[in-house]
Amino acid sequence: MTLPLIDRRHLDFVLHEVLDVERLFRLPRFASHDRPGADAIVDTAARLAADVFLPSYRHLDDNEPIAENGRVVLPAATGAALEAYRQAGFPAMTAPMEHGGLGLPRTIANAAFVHFQAANISIANYAMLTSSAAELLAHHGTPSQRQRYMTPMLEGRFHGTMALSEPQAGSSLGDIRTEARPLPDGTYALRGSKMWISGGEHDMGENIVHLMLSRIAGAPPGVKGISLFIVPRRRLDADGRPAIWNHVALAGLNHKMGQRGTVNTVLNVGEGGDTIGEIVGRPGDGLACMFTMMNEARIGVAMGAVAHASAGYRLSLAYARERLQGRHPDQKDPASPQVPLVEHADVRRMLLQQKAVAEGGIALALYLARLADLKAAATEPPARHDAALLLDVLTPVFKAWLSEEALAANNNAMQVLGGAGYTRDFPLELHYRDNRLNPIHEGTNGIQAVDLIGRKVTMAEGRGWKLLLDTMQATAAAAAIADPELAPLGARLGEAVERLGRTATRLTATAGDRGRRHAYAHATDFMELAGTTVFAWIWLEQARRAHGLRAMAPASGRDFLEGLILTCRHVFETVLPRGEAAAGRIAMDAAWHREMTDAMLG
Amino acid sequence: MTLPLIDRRHLDFVLHEVLDVERLFRLPRFASHDRPGADAIVDTAARLAADVFLPSYRHLDDNEPIAENGRVVLPAATGAALEAYRQAGFPAMTAPMEHGGLGLPRTIANAAFVHFQAANISIANYAMLTSSAAELLAHHGTPSQRQRYMTPMLEGRFHGTMALSEPQAGSSLGDIRTEARPLPDGTYALRGSKMWISGGEHDMGENIVHLMLSRIAGAPPGVKGISLFIVPRRRLDADGRPAIWNHVALAGLNHKMGQRGTVNTVLNVGEGGDTIGEIVGRPGDGLACMFTMMNEARIGVAMGAVAHASAGYRLSLAYARERLQGRHPDQKDPASPQVPLVEHADVRRMLLQQKAVAEGGIALALYLARLADLKAAATEPPARHDAALLLDVLTPVFKAWLSEEALAANNNAMQVLGGAGYTRDFPLELHYRDNRLNPIHEGTNGIQAVDLIGRKVTMAEGRGWKLLLDTMQATAAAAAIADPELAPLGARLGEAVERLGRTATRLTATAGDRGRRHAYAHATDFMELAGTTVFAWIWLEQARRAHGLRAMAPASGRDFLEGLILTCRHVFETVLPRGEAAAGRIAMDAAWHREMTDAMLG
């Protein structure tokens, strides 16, 4: 019997009590689904994750992919797990039924997928990349491209990648150089070098579909000159079967600190032979198309971070309950039995921080998934539009703020175990190493911070931003009039949202170049302010529901609900004040970033 | 030419401008030393560290020690580096001349040693353990023990270990069970199992001297029943030469996330043959004697953390200056050249946090070393006594607070490099992994926090604590009357010290069991308050001196001094408010630690 790495009771609480996903099943698009079916899918994911993904978690860290004659050799466990995942139908879970998918709400699919991420992120990554690539083609591919490339991905036969970065262009995608030369038949010959490509080469499945950014010869510099291409590892023949090699050459592997089971490659295209690509969308629209996949990947990354936080919490909690060590300060008799670690207040503190991140993170992850569902399936256009805006605004906050907090949670998980946590005999150090990638990839957290203040706050005349503030204020107001226990929390959230709104207004008020540099210099402070506020809000949403249920709950369920309310209070006492401090730093507008020259750094 | 991992200009600034170590050379004990000699020793350390320690940094991570037939096989690089270290005379650097040492002030020795820690902590650890073990015997050993065990350690022929923990007793040393049976000749036969013993078995040098805690048969339970023993790997013959094996059996290796080159062992003693030990000090005084070594090790651990922070800072700064990526928000022309990372405000933020920790950490490390020198060598007894008290109070703060901040610094170092920082092609991820041990070993940071509020604040009727507060207030007062630039910082430090003093008084005021549990529940908050205050204080000490020198400095030196003053302001703006927040949490006395039952954790 494996320890569950995601607490199912809490997951169900979020799905059914906080988010009321059954309302989604009433939307025409999801009408063929129901709660028993959704529960069964989550059950299956939990079981497969424990039985097929988890056992090789350490093995894949010890046995990194190796390159042999231009091919990548992966441990067999990876392909075996993905085959079980495929057979259970997971690759096509969320794709619309008209595209051959199961049309499951993303909320349910993500509640399932987080189990795979918690159990073995290195394998889950392949599945996530393929799903996101399929999603991109569902949106931007032609019917023929969907049929030839997307359908095999939904069937789990082809894999997908994102091929964006280049050695000289990571965060600065406008500087990519890979060139696409138009061929007479409408396809393109690509030539260049791509860096940091996860799953860029391996022998699983029948083919790899690289979604590759490139410049059509003569395109303008910068992002406006970027187009998107389907670049298969093996070209398809007339019947859509993978045939000859497309000269996507493995130029090297990146050896990482963690997530070692996900092969990360340097790829050269157009070397020693043509690499043929098909354009997706219009020339120059490459980055916009890519963002369909990128946004999904960012949410996936943060969900992975939350999965690690949850795994770390469950594992360190179990250890803390079992391991006897020390006594309370007032237990003077050295011959008295030692108490379990969980009894010590300082250990309790480290557990509670983890609980807050793990469960607040799950709630936020599924809230975002529900926004994606409403964006795709709400019956009224304004509802779809609002959901899209809110999702856009929340994505960088979820990605950046939660991935930092989740790493801090894994740090605490290790610390609870002490020396044991630092050894490779326990999985905590591996979760910690794996999780450390999340603040970096799919746009570093610095990039996310700049995206939030530099773009998301002001986009669509600030309507998405206002929607977020209004949504959080509604929760605050509802709590404030609820009852004496929640009212102070409602009032404090209200103040925090006010502060967030004011700060955003001030930071974006100074027009022109000086204003932008000023805002960028405080981007991470602003992210801290936004993240702490959003986190307090999602916790208050959980606490409100828990509070409503508590009176009627049987004794057996009351501890669980009470624990949520106390955790919410703990978040308000320990996390929310950090936002206030960040607002203080912005208001002070400390001069170091202007006064400190490079030479002064030493 | 290797990049220096410790900035020599700053090191000299601390030694000579802030701490004025030349005053130490005027003390009788250090009278044979002078600045040119001290400088030469630091030069030698910097060169040896770069030439002999650094080259195998990655190699030792890739090639962990292995156990073969009960022996540990280390990569040859470890022994070769320690041999060079020995030949340069480093093992005997600080030992008093009457014991055959060089009698160098610890301030200089540590300024030298931090180079080895920055270059290759896994090798430096062996040297540190041996030095600390020798120091313990200098204090507590008999003349015969010093001659037979300490002298060979000072000569670099024997190595030392600390053998405290056991499988069932890590943080809770009172629960150790290893038993010592008195033998007719006054020695003891030990039997038990020791856990987490760094350097517990290897073939370097002629012998390993385990300083092992054990209970004499019939001793009372708890810490009062613990005695300390010299347990050599090979027993000495009548001439003091290592002879037959002492049945200290390798029972296993602990495989760590980092610091892999320092072998960590499980040892069984008294299995299949007698393990003979000599008692050090009196029966029952074991823990008190051990604390000579333990306190030294705690300072060494924090110094190691600072060394990693410094290495990470220098490496990420060099990278940020070289790597071109992106443009300023107002550089609209995508064809314009990319700017170096260091130009971006958010990267600057991450560099500045590192600079603050690296250089503030060095200053604090050497301040503590100077206290150790004054404790040992000040001519007036009250000066020795005060230095000892202040050192006692500051040790847990330096160990716990700095090791957390240093890890955050390495986290930022990796983040500056982005994806590259996460790969094993760069040393940042290795510094980060290695550094993660420091909040755990030699007493977890939770234990340090409890030591501070539960013991150090109140010991000697609170005189050490008051000394710390007075020392910091003196700096605040001097800055407040200095000039308009530093006065506001002096005033703010004054308030922070007031707050720290008030909080300590309040936390220790509630007598009895309830009071202790209450204080322990806020131990980490109190550590944050104390750490941020001490850190601001040491930075104001640096800024005051930099300020004093700036007016007279040549243009070439002004940037360096200005950078220190700005970093100090940055610390006051970003770090000091965290202490205020921690005081707020303590004052609020949130109820979670009392109300949250185990069942509510989920």
State residue A596's pLDDT score: 86
Strand partners, A275: A190
Task: Report whether A547 contacts A482 (CB < 8 A).
Answer: yes
The chain-wide mean pLDDT, for chain A, equals 96
How far is CA B69 from its chain centroid?
34
State residue A589's pLDDT score: 80
Where do we find the tokens 């340090």?
Answer: B448
A109 class by beta-carbon count within 10 Å (0-12 exposed, 13-18 middle, 19+ buried): buried
State residue A330's pLDDT score: 87
Of B245, B263, B284, the one marking the end of a domain is B284
A481 class by beta-carbon count within 10 Å (0-12 exposed, 13-18 middle, 19+ buried): exposed
Residues B123 and B92 in one domain: yes
Q: Is the pLDDT of residue A545 over 80?
A: yes
Residue A245 maps to a domain: yes
pLDDT in tens, A22-50: 999 999 999 999 999 999 999 999 999 99
pLDDT in tens, A428-445: 999 999 999 999 999 999
Chain B CB within 8 Å of residue A431 CB: no
Chain B CB within 8 Å of residue A589 CB: no
Domain harbouring A98, CATH code:
1.10.540.10
Q: How far is CA B121 from CA A115, B274, B300, B432, B568, in A?
A: 38, 34, 11, 12, 28
Nearest Cα residue in chain B from A431 = B257
State residue A1's pLDDT score: 53
Predicted confidence band of residue A362 (pLDDT cuts 50, 70, 90): very high
Chain A CB within 8 Å of residue B141 CB: no
Q: Is the pLDDT of residue A314 over 60?
A: yes
The percent of residues above 90 in pLDDT, for chain B, comes to 93
Residues B454 and B602 in one domain: yes
Q: How far is CA A543 from CA A370, A489, B419, B441, in A?
A: 19, 10, 38, 38
Residue A422 maps to a domain: no
A chain contacts of residue B429, beta-carbon cutoff 8 Å = 256-257, 436
Nearest to A114 by CA among A477, A342, A368: A368
Chain B CB within 8 Å of residue A346 CB: yes
Residues B567 and B532 in one domain: yes
Give the number of beta-carbon pairs within 8 Å between A and B: 285
The three state secondary structure string of B219-259 is: CCCCHHHEEEEEEECEEECCCCCEEEECCEEEEEECCECCC
Q: What is the DSSP letter of A328?
A: -
Nearest to A259 by CA among A477, A438, A404: A438
Residues 6+ apart with CB under 8 A from B514: none
Q: Is the pLDDT of residue A319 over 70?
A: yes
Predicted confidence band of residue A456 (pLDDT cuts 50, 70, 90): very high
Type of residue numbered B509: A
Q: A380 to chain B nearest CA, in Å?
A: 38
> b or e along A360-395 (b: 16 or more beta carbons within 10 Å of the residue's beta carbon)?
bbbbbbbbbbbbbbbbbbbeeeeeebbbbbbbbbbb
Q: Name which of B172, B578, B602 is nearest A338 (Cβ-Cβ).
A: B172
Q: How far is CA A573 from CA A472, A499, B592, in A?
A: 18, 17, 10
CB count within 10 Å of CB A185 equals 7
**DSSP secondary structure string for all residues of B386-438:** HHHHHHHHHHHIIIIIHHHHHHHHHHHHHHHHTHHHHBTTSTHHHHHHHHTTT
Q: B255 to chain A nearest CA, in Å?
A: 5
Residue B410 maps to a domain: no
Q: What is the pTM of this model?
A: 0.98
B171 and A596: CB-CB below 8 Å?
no
A chain contacts of residue B121, beta-carbon cutoff 8 Å = none
Residues A109 and A34 in one domain: yes
Q: CA–CA separation, B125 vs B565, rounded Å? A: 34
Chain B CB within 8 Å of residue A342 CB: yes
Residues A43 and A171 in one domain: no
Retrieve residue B369's tokens: 């070393």
Average the pLDDT over A368-397 and give the result. 98
B70 class by beta-carbon count within 10 Å (0-12 exposed, 13-18 middle, 19+ buried): exposed
Residue A379 maps to a domain: no
Chain B CB within 8 Å of residue A556 CB: no
Residues B102 and B212 in one domain: no
Average the pLDDT over B462-467 and give the result. 98
Residues A182 and A89 in one domain: no
Interface pTM, i.e. ipTM: 0.97
Task: Report whether A275 contacts A251 (CB < 8 A).
Answer: no
Q: At what angle do helices A523-550 and A555-574 cross, to 10 degrees?
A: 160
Q: Name which of B168, B335, B598 is nearest A342 (Cβ-Cβ).
A: B598
State residue A57's pLDDT score: 98
CB count within 10 Å of CB A429 equals 26
Q: Name which of B335, B346, B521 is nearest A345 (Cβ-Cβ).
A: B521
The percent of residues above 70 in pLDDT, for chain B, comes to 99
SS3 B153: helix
Q: CA–CA separation, A342 vs A49, rounded Å? A: 27
Residues A96 and A217 in one domain: no
pLDDT in tens, B231-266: 999 999 999 999 999 999 999 999 999 999 999 999
Q: Is the pLDDT of residue B65 over 70?
A: yes
Q: CA–CA separation, B233 vs B439, rounded Å? A: 29
Average the pLDDT over B317-334 and give the result. 94
The chain-wide mean pLDDT, for chain B, equals 96
Predicted confidence band of residue A563 (pLDDT cuts 50, 70, 90): very high
Of B220, B251, B284, the one marking the end of a domain is B284
Q: At what angle do helices B523-550 and B555-574 cross, to 10 degrees?
A: 160
Q: Is the pLDDT of residue B1 over 60?
A: no
Q: CA–CA separation, B140 vs B143, rounded Å? A: 9
Q: How far is CA A581 from CA A202, A439, A578, B489, in A?
A: 47, 22, 5, 18
Q: Count of H helices and E strands in chain A?
A: 22, 12
Residues 6+ apart with CB under 8 A from A26: none
> b or e along B420-458 (b: 16 or more beta carbons within 10 Å of the residue's beta carbon)?
bbbbbebbbbbbbbbbbbbbbbbbbbbbbbbbbbbebbe
A585 and B592: CB-CB below 8 Å?
no
**DSSP secondary structure string for all residues of B81-99:** HHHHHHHTTGGGSSS-GGG
Residue A377 maps to a domain: no
Based on the structure, what is the number of domains in chain B? 3
pLDDT in tens, A199-224: 999 999 999 999 999 999 999 999 99
Asked which of A52-61, A519-528, B553-562, B582-591 is least confident by mean pLDDT, the reply is B582-591
Residues B598 and B450 in one domain: yes
Mutation target for A interface from B422, B424, B426, B435: give the one with most A CBs within 10 A.
B422
A chain contacts of residue B444, beta-carbon cutoff 8 Å = 415, 418
Residue B424 maps to a domain: no
State residue B332's pLDDT score: 85
Predicted confidence band of residue A483 (pLDDT cuts 50, 70, 90): confident
State residue A512's pLDDT score: 76
Domain harbouring B280, CATH code:
2.40.110.20
Asked which of A310-319, A331-340, A400-409, B426-435 is least confident by mean pLDDT, the reply is A331-340
Domain of residue A112 covers 8-154
Nearest Cα residue in chain A from B522 = A346
Q: What is the DSSP letter of A297?
A: H
Predicted confidence band of residue A517 (pLDDT cuts 50, 70, 90): confident
Q: Name which of A257, A346, A516 is nearest B524 (Cβ-Cβ).
A: A346
A75 conformational bin, left if phi > 0, alpha if psi -120 to 50, beta if neither? beta
B159 conformational bin, left if phi > 0, alpha if psi -120 to 50, beta if neither? beta
Q: Name which of A345, A441, A599 is nearest B559 (Cβ-Cβ).
A: A599
B592 and A569: CB-CB below 8 Å?
yes
State residue B318's pLDDT score: 98
Rounded to the nearest 5 degrees, what angle is found at the Cα of B429, between the Cα atoms of B68 and A81? Answer: 75
State residue B482's pLDDT score: 80
Where do we find the tokens 């894999």?
Answer: A159
Residue B317 maps to a domain: no
Q: Name which of B175, B317, B596 is nearest A352 (Cβ-Cβ).
A: B596
State residue B58's pLDDT score: 98
Nearest to B196 by CA among B132, B149, B129, B137: B129
Restricting to A residues 65-84, those with a Cβ less than 8 Å away from any Cβ of B are none
Chain A CB within 8 Å of residue B44 CB: no
Please give the backbone phi and psi of residue A229, each rounded to the nearest 5 degrees, phi first: -130, 145
- Sequence-distant contacts of B471-477: CB under 8 A, at least 24 apart: B471/B390, B471/B537, B472/B497, B472/B533, B472/B534, B472/B537, B473/B497, B475/B537, B475/B540, B475/B541, B475/B544, B476/B537, B476/B540
Residue B323 maps to a domain: no
Task: Report whether A346 contacts B453 (CB < 8 A).
Answer: no
Chain A CB within 8 Å of residue B524 CB: yes
Of A138, A154, A170, the one marking the end of a domain is A154
Restricting to A residues 395-414, those with a Cβ less than 8 Å away from any Cβ of B are 407, 411, 414
Residues A69 and A207 in one domain: no
Q: CA–CA separation, A448 vs A175, rounded Å? A: 18
Predicted confidence band of residue A157 (pLDDT cuts 50, 70, 90): very high
Residues B510 and B592 in one domain: yes
pLDDT in tens, B327-380: 998 888 999 999 999 999 999 999 999 999 999 999 999 999 999 999 999 999
Residues A500 and A558 in one domain: yes
Restricting to B residues 162-191, those with a Cβ less than 8 Å away from any Cβ of A are 165, 168-172, 174-175
Task: Report whether B318 contacts B3 (CB < 8 A).
Answer: yes
Strand partners, A163: A212
